[in-house]
Every structure is written in C-alpha cells, then in structure tokens.
Amino acid sequence: MKIGLYPGSFDPFTVGHLDVLWHASSLFDRVYVSILRNSAKQPVFTEEERVDLIRKVISDAGIDRVEVLTFDGLTVKHAKALGAGYLIRGLRAITDFEYEFSMDALNRHLAPEIQTVYFMAKPEHSFLSSSKVREIGSLGGSIHGLVPECIEKMITERLAQQ
C-alpha cells in the first residue's frame, strides 16, 4: 500500500494546496494531510480551525482516501509512524526549490527510505501562498478564487477580524 504524507502549515488551505492534494490522492492508496503544530511561524488560524477547513474541503470535493491530522516534531518521524513511504510537497518557484532541496537532503539523511515527491503548481497558482491570502483578506480584499469556495466565507470572516 502506497501511503503519502502531505505536511504543511496550511494557514489557511488554498486552491494551490487543493490541486496538489487532488493529484496526490489519485497516485496514492492513502494520503495524510498533516498540519505542523510547532511551526516557528505564529499561525493566524488555530490548529482546530485548519483541521476543520481542510476536512470541509475534502468532503466537499469528494476526495477519497485522505485523512487530516496534526503533528509536531520531525516530519520523517511522523511519516514513519504512519507507515508513509512518501512525503508530498508542491513547488511554485525557484525560492520553493531552494528550500525543498535542502529539506530533501536533510530528510534523506534522517530517513533514506522515505522519498519526497513534488507536484508543480499550476501556472495560475504560482503566485499563490497562504501568506498572500492572509494579507489580502485582512486588508479587506476579495480572496475569491484563491481558496476553495466552500471555505471562502469562513476564511473571509475570520481574516476580517484580524
């Protein structure tokens, strides 16, 4: 059974994340989307909010074989505990590549048996990040088309309170 782990901050989940998840779910028997709890970044959305948002998207989009979790500590340790042989990441631009390149080297050092697979962002998503969504939303701009429609209202309302 091929199990993939898609780790990230997802603060909040965007259409770019959803695109990666769609493709991953068609390749793996099971995919765990797992939210990093101990990120150095101070998240805007709580852990529970992010879990709820992603679960809503998965159920709305009808994606099978996907489960949402949270974790802290080393990603490869979490992957091993789940029996996942693959990490799933998205690549937008050169800046992502540099970061992913060094993370891959470190993860291989820690767990050579785990491979990371990368999905290229759609060109129209290459500019899209959670931080841009937070910025636009908290300044009162429209985030329509940037986040899955079923969670747009929840995210808009939450960011308006910032």
| Selected range binding ligand ADP among 49-57, 63-71, 85-93, 135-143, rule: CB under 6 A | 85-93
Interface with ligand ADP, residue 130, by CB under 6 A? yes
Of the candidates 2, 37, 41, 77, the residue annotated as catalytic is 41
Q: CB within 8 A of 124, min separation 6: which ones? A: none
How far is it, in rounded angstroms, from Cα 91 to Cα 72?
22
Of these, 5, 66, 78, 125, which contacts ligand ADP (CB under 6 A)?
Answer: 125
Query: Nearest approach, Cβ of 133 to ligand ADP (angstroms)?
Result: 10
**17 catalytic residue (yes or no):** yes
Q: Structure tokens of 10?
A: 């997802």
Secondary structure class of 49 (helix, strand, coil): helix
DSSP per residue, 72-131: -S-HHHHHHHHT--EEEEEE-SHHHHHHHHHHHHHHHHH-TT-EEEEEEPPGGGTT--HH
Query: Nearest approach, Cβ of 130 to ligand ADP (angstroms)?
Result: 5
| Selected range binding ligand ADP among 13-21, 56-64, 65-73, 152-160, rule: CB under 6 A | 13-21
21: DSSP letter: H
Q: CB within 8 A of 125, min separation 6: which ones? A: 14, 15, 16, 19, 92
Residue among 42, 40, 22 at smallest CA distance from 31? 22
Of the candidates 80, 92, 122, 132, the residue annotated as catalytic is 92
Of these, 4, 5, 10, 159, which contacts ligand ADP (CB under 6 A)?
Answer: 10
| Selected range binding ligand ADP among 4-12, 24-32, 106-114, 148-156, rule: CB under 6 A | 4-12
Residues within the interface to ligand ADP (CB under 6 A)? 8-10, 14, 16-17, 20, 89-90, 92, 96, 121, 125, 128-130
Annotated catalytic sites, by residue? 17, 41, 92, 130
